[in-house]
A = this chain, B = another copy of it.
Amino acid sequence: MSIHSPQRATILEVAREAGASKTSVSRYFGGERERLSRELQGRIESAAQRLGYRPNQMARGLKGGRSRLIGMLVADIRNPFSVAVMHGVEQACRERGYSLLVCNTDNDPAQEREHLALLTSYRVEGLVINAAGSPDRELQALVEQGMPLVMLDRELGEVEAEVVGLDNARALDLALDHLQVQGYGELLYLSEPPEQASPRQARLMRFHQGVAARGLAGEAHCQALKDRETLQRAIGDFLARPGTAPRALLCANGNATLAATRALQTLGARLGDTGLLGIDELDWCALVGPGITTLAQPTEAIGRAAVECLMRRRECGDHTTPSRRVHFQASLIPRGSTRR
């Protein structure tokens, strides 16, 4: 390798070392090598090598505003689903020469606001938002300033931003169809409070519609999942209720599935006997009891699609293109928890 000087080499030093001008070196690293003579290219190449030169992205970002940074807001970094999507986002960014600046908001609107400010202060060139709170005002303003923006799995009021996510209606239909076919007649839908989180709302709404349309009995329990006792009582009541139709739980996301599984285990319910179907496929769903039936989301694809939207925005003019919705389909992974 190279022997680095105490401070990192600058473009000027490389220029001197190569007997060229800053401009030429800049062109060399800015992807305009073609415009330089073979000979100059060689000199710059070796000079840079010798000095261990790397363009300073900060300085780069300063001039034209090309920070080559994409910002992402993640509601809960410890949620495997979010991470999987983020992985897709990151891959796609890398492939396009962008880096990803990720901020976790822990579902806290305050942090969301703060991080949003932070990201913009780094002059990110695009924003992928997956957050529960609603700094709609700020986002609105950003979009109007021409910031490419894509919402992950969540609509945004009247803002002209792309939305990428699951086709929630179809997903719920899929789930309900499966549960019905398997013979479950009374359903309990488990979700975190749906305020502010549009996919939760969409799923909940479709649940109610779908249950009615199929002539099933259905109700929803939408409390914070952290309170295990409340959840357990709700599930217990549901299972103990008089009636003969087989009962099943439908979980709105991975966290709900986890909480429900715990509760069922504590209650001593047998999976399958009591149906259980969760949205989001997790590592362990195949391992618990007879396996938990899930609806898998194409996480990587969702992440990649988000970046594609961003790039499309960047390229084809400013906010002239109408905002779009990209919906992905969930796929059912049937397991023992919905087999009676």
A residues at B contact (CB < 8 Å): 1, 4, 6-8, 52, 54-59, 61-62, 67, 77-78, 80, 83-84, 86-87, 90, 99-104, 117-118, 120-123, 137-138, 141, 144-146, 258, 261-262, 265, 282-284, 286-288
Contact = CB atoms under 8 A, between A and B. Distances in A.
B80 A87 contact: no
Contacts of A7: 145
A287 B286 contact: no
Contact of A4 (B1, B67, B144): B144
Contacts of A87: 77-78, 104
A128 to B, nearest CB: 14
Given A6-B145, A8-B145, A288-B288, 6 more contacts: A4-B141, A55-B121, A78-B83, A78-B87, A83-B83, A283-B284
A55 B123 CA distance: 10
Nearest to A144: B4
A81 to B, nearest CB: 11
Contacts of A102: 100, 102
Given A104-B87, A121-B54, A284-B258, A78 B77 contact: no
Given A56-B121, A141-B4, A287-B265, A99 B99 contact: no
Contacts of A118: 99
A59 B56 contact: no
A262 B286 contact: yes
A101 B99 CA distance: 9
Contact of A58 (B8, B55, B62): B62
A279 to B, nearest CB: 16
9 contacts: A52-B141, A54-B117, A58-B123, A78-B83, A83-B83, A101-B101, A265-B287, A284-B288, A288-B288
A145 B145 CA distance: 40
B80 A86 contact: no
B4 A145 contact: yes
A181 to B, nearest CB: 26
A257 B233 CA distance: 32
Given A84-B78, A284-B283, A56 B99 contact: no
Contacts of A86: 77
A58 B120 CA distance: 10
Nearest to A258: B283
A77 B67 contact: no
A78 B88 CA distance: 11
Contacts of A59: 62
